[in-house]
Amino acid sequence: MILAGLALFVVASLLCGVTTAPWQLFAARALQGIGAALVSPNALSALLRVFDDEKSRGRALGLWASVASAGAIAGQLLGGVLTDLAGWRSIFLINVPVGVVALLGLRRALPALPGSGAGRPALPNALLLVTVVGGGSLVLAAANGGWSSGLTAVVVVLVVLAVALVVAESRSRRPLLEPGLLRQRGVVVGNTVLALNVATVTTALYVTSLVLQNELGFSAMQTGLAFAPITAIVLLVSPKAGAAVATVGARPLLVGAGIATTAGVALLTAFAERGYLVGVLPGLALVALGSGLGYAPMFALATGVDDRLKGAASGLVTTVQELGAAVGLAALTSLGLVLATSAQNGTTTYLVAALASLLATLVALAAGPARETDPISEPEREPAT
């Protein structure tokens, strides 16, 4: 599944780079999404099954988290540089040689792990989920231009489809979401904090890229290079945070991450437009510190389940991460636009993102003491079948 998904992603990236019409680019991007959906949860599930003791798994999750968070931030850096040097198509074409090298290496490196035997989930349910989530994101984006009767009709249709999805899941023999997962406190806390954190960080990076270019006059390349220091912070901090999960527990790390992220976005709110060194860099550094501290314990909590459920837990946390970025960005920027005047759009959106980060911190505090293994005590475990 990992190799097939990566191969599809490489081919889709090539198609993105040679498209000649917008609809072709959208279709190729959709193929990229399918490829990524095959790779990410299966890769995380493989990692969890290979590193089966708490200490080594914490270190592995720390490295996983550093790649995930630093990759998202480094995309800002590389995207700006490549766009300036070789045009927008290069941001897709660069995936082709990198992907081919990864395919060749993974064929030798990946262990031969058996499947879970869970079978295929219901395809109609998956299509309903994609329609509801994708449609909801588009509605949030379209609402920036003002509300209309057409948007109201779309919302009504999406609500009906969401109800249909819930009913279909409750009756399905192979639901998309394993029923046992949401009974685990750690899974709920980890995914909730992750969704809020990813929404905050994605929104902060998005607004900052606009501030750098529109307010401070940075070029695309300069904007990309402006994100280089924070990428290094995430890469340094995240593996250490992953190793610390087994010793200090997930909760202190999540609280510290929330405080750092909230403080960083607050600094951006107040000082981003005053200059890069004075306002942007200190705020982004704190955001990066929060990401480095938080991602490993988030993943640890969200996947701290029986081996039978690790695949499902990996799929859920990967989905939540993507939804937190897509839906979170649309929701927070839309709310910022609703609350602000045109001259305050960036500042108000930063403030909304800071409130989302603060909410994530409160969720971590309210969850009680939680090490990675705490959320699933033995009496709560379901017997393996």
* 61-75, 100-114, 179-193, 259-273: the lowest-pLDDT one: 61-75
Question: pLDDT tens digits for 164-189?
Answer: 988 888 887 777 777 777 778 888 88
| Nearest by Cα to 276 from 200, 342, 333, 209 | 209
Vertex 197 angle, CA 207 and 245, to 5° = 140
How many other C-beta atoms can be found within 10 angstroms of the C-beta atom of residue 369? 9
224 and 90 in one domain?
yes
In this structure, the answer to whether residues 167 and 76 fall within a common structural domain is no
Residues 39 and 155 in one domain: no
pLDDT score of 378: 36
Q: Does 85 or 101 have the greater pLDDT score?
A: 101
Position 243 in a domain: yes
pLDDT band at 125 (very low <50, low <70, confident <90, very high): confident
Q: Examine the domain organization and report whether 38 and 104 are in the same domain.
A: yes
Residue of higher predicted confidence among 129 and 16: 16
pLDDT score, position 376:
36
Q: Rounded CA gap, 347 and 45, in Å?
A: 39
First to last CA, the chain: 23
Assess if residue 385 is contained within a domain.
no
Lowest pLDDT segment from 39-48, 108-117, 201-210, 277-286: 108-117
Q: What is the domain range of residue 203?
A: 2-121+176-380
Residues 116 and 35 in one domain: yes
If asked whether residues 250 and 149 sit together in one domain, one would say no
Residue 316 lies in a domain: yes
Q: What is the rounded average pLDDT of the residues 303-307?
A: 78
Domain shared by 82 and 205, yes or no: yes
Provide mean pLDDT across the span 21-26: 91
Q: What is the mean pLDDT of residues 55-84?
A: 76
Could you give the residue ranges of the DSSP H alpha helices within the chain?
A: 2-18, 22-50, 54-86, 90-93, 95-109, 123-142, 149-171, 185-210, 220-226, 228-248, 250-271, 281-302, 307-339, 345-366
Q: Which of 175, 197, 216 is the last residue of a domain?
A: 175
Chain-wide mean pLDDT for the chain? 81
In a domain, 31, yes or no: yes
Residues 186 and 326 placed together within one structural domain of the fold = yes
Can you give the CATH number for the domain in which 277 is found? 1.20.1250.20
Same domain? 197 vs 291:
yes
Same domain, yes or no: 106 and 160: no
Q: At residue 287, does pLDDT exceed 50?
A: yes
Percentage of residues in the chain having pLDDT higher than 90: 19
Give 219-232 pLDDT, tens digit per residue: 877 887 888 788 78
Q: 159 and 197, same structural domain?
A: no
User: pLDDT band at 369, cuts 50/70/90?
Assistant: low
Q: Is residue 315 part of a domain?
A: yes
- For residue 115, give the DSSP letter: P
Query: Exposure of 64 by Cβ count < 10 A (0-12 exposed, 13-18 middle, 19+ buried)?
Result: buried
Do 185 and 161 lie in one domain? The reply is no
pLDDT band at 122 (very low <50, low <70, confident <90, very high): low
Total domains, the chain: 2
Of residues 280 and 369, which shows the higher confidence score? Answer: 280
Return the ∠ at Cα 366 (arms to 137 and 63), rounded to 5°. 65
Task: With both helix axes pointing from N to C terminus, report the angle between 307-339 and 185-210 in degrees, rounded to the nearest 10.
Answer: 40
